[in-house]
Amino acid sequence: MSQRVLELETKVRTPECDVIERQYRDNLADLKLVVAKEYSTGIIGGDDTTMFHHMGPEKKRRSLSDKDARLCETLLRICVHIIWLALGRKSFNQIELELHRLFKSETFNCVEHAINSGYLAKMTREERRVLIGQCVRKDKKLHICSPLINEVFCDRRIDYRLLGLGVIEYPELPARLQYIYQAVAGPESDIRESGVSLGIVGHPRANFDTMLHPLVVPAAKSKSRVMSQSLQSNLDQSKISTKSSTTTGSTKKIYEDIILPHVEDEEPEFPPEFPHTPLPPRRCSETQRRRWQRRLRRLLRAGAPRTHSHVTK
């Protein structure tokens, strides 16, 4: 949208601009609704988040608001870094600001309060209409809802199947919902084959170094030259990330654009009864989980003071 606003400064605005920007707004709204579904599940302690609820699995304990706040902040920080890495280490500040705004609203965006960038006030009317959306509700500070929760209770046209993607097995899905399902709940090995783009997610691990910097190394080079070129690519990548947005467009893209299929003009038909067959849950790899546990134990042992080595677990 920033690039589009810059282009519109030297071009004449036409009715087709409203159509394109409305598509952008609908795409963002549907994606925010999918995130809001998972966020709402975590808030109420549903599905596999029950054990993390701040009032206990049965919701009968006294509310542990401090523990809940720490868990929320930790998850947000992890999400910011995952998105930043997946999108090729670009626009960290924008990702952090927007993610905190989505989960906390403009009023409680602590990152914006700390750096005072004023990025929302600097937006043009067209940018606000697309990025903020049409589901913003103004209320008193104590009763205000985050933009994600507003998406759940918005009165716009919503395909009801969006709220069941990855949970319920639907008999037939249009191309748009198939794309979103693959991005949300599909196996990572099928992402590239299905034409879905999630940044570097789904790309072969061998194409990246330990810090997930892209590697472009001919196979004929020796191991020492491979290591030196890996270090050089890391330095080049850090230099590229510090350049302005006008020069980043000339760098080679490491992932495809994220383009959602268009919305079907026909309204979705409501079946006589909704499907009851749940999709099988996709658990993490048991081998990978044990590797992370062993790594965590090694880090804890390495960081423990020697004087307290006799203390039991």
Comparison of pLDDT for 309 and 262, the residue scoring more:
262
How confident is the model at residue 305, as a pLDDT? Answer: 57
User: What secondary structure does DSSP assign to the chain, as a single string?
Assistant: -HHHHHHHTTS---HHHHHHHHHHHHHHHHHHHHHHHHHHHHHHT-GGGGGG-TTTTTT-S---HHHHHHHHHHHHHHHHHHHHHHTTS--HHHHHHHHHHHHHTTTT-HHHHHH---TTTTS-HHHHHHHT-S------GGG---HHHHHHT--S---GGGGGTTTB--S---HHHHHHHHHHHS-GGGTTTTT--BTBBTS-GGGB-TT--B----TTS-HHHHHHHHHHHHHHHHHHHHS-HHHHTTSPPSS----PPPPPSSPPPPPSS----BPPP-PPPHHHHHHHHHHHHHHHHHHS-GGGTT---
For the chain, the domain total comes to 1
Does the residue 201 lie in any domain?
Answer: no
Q: Which of 225, 224, 200, 226 is nearest to 214 (CA)?
A: 200
| Contact between residue 59 and residue 168 where contact means Cβ atoms under 8 Å apart | no
Does the residue 85 lie in any domain?
Answer: yes
How confident is the model at residue 86, as a pLDDT? Answer: 92
How confident is the model at residue 92, as a pLDDT? Answer: 92
How confident is the model at residue 228, as a pLDDT? Answer: 47
Q: Is the pLDDT of residue 83 over 90?
A: yes
Region at 157 (left for phi over 0; alpha for psi -120 to 50; beta for the rest): beta
How confident is the model at residue 222, as a pLDDT? Answer: 43
The structure tokens 């927007």 sit at: 98
In single-letter form, the type of residue at position 230 comes to S
Q: Is the pLDDT of residue 48 over 70?
A: yes
How confident is the model at residue 307, as a pLDDT? Answer: 47
Does the residue 187 lie in any domain?
Answer: no
How confident is the model at residue 161, as a pLDDT? Answer: 87
Q: Which tens digits make up the pLDDT trace of 142-169?
A: 778 888 988 888 888 888 888 888 888 8
How confident is the model at residue 173, as a pLDDT? Answer: 86
How confident is the model at residue 239, as a pLDDT? Answer: 42
Of all residues in the chain, what percent carry a pLDDT higher than 70? 85
Q: Which tens digits make up the pLDDT trace of 179-223?
A: 999 888 888 878 888 888 888 988 888 888 888 888 875 544 444
Of all residues in the chain, what percent carry a pLDDT higher than 90? 12
Does the residue 291 lie in any domain?
Answer: no
Does the residue 250 lie in any domain?
Answer: no
pLDDT band at 312, cuts 50/70/90?
A: very low
Comparison of pLDDT for 138 and 121, the residue scoring more:
121
pLDDT band at 303, cuts 50/70/90?
A: low
How confident is the model at residue 288, as a pLDDT? Answer: 79
Comparison of pLDDT for 311 and 116, the residue scoring more:
116
Alpha-carbon distance of 44 to 59, in angstroms, equals: 9
Q: Which tens digits make up the pLDDT trace of 6-38?
A: 888 888 888 888 898 999 999 999 999 999 988
* Cα distances (Å, whole numbers) of residue 296 to 49, 79, 284, 289, 301: 22, 20, 17, 11, 9
Q: Which tens digits make up the pLDDT trace of 238-255?
A: 444 434 333 344 456 788
| Contact between residue 48 and residue 281 where contact means Cβ atoms under 8 Å apart | yes
Does the residue 143 lie in any domain?
Answer: yes
How confident is the model at residue 263, as a pLDDT? Answer: 85
How confident is the model at residue 306, as a pLDDT? Answer: 53
How confident is the model at residue 240, as a pLDDT? Answer: 41
Write down the mean pLDDT value for the chain: 79
- Which range of residues forms the domain containing residue 90? 1-158
Does the residue 199 lie in any domain?
Answer: no
Compute the chain's Rg from CA coordinates: 23
How confident is the model at residue 101, as a pLDDT? Answer: 92
Does the residue 270 lie in any domain?
Answer: no
Average pLDDT for 80-104: 91
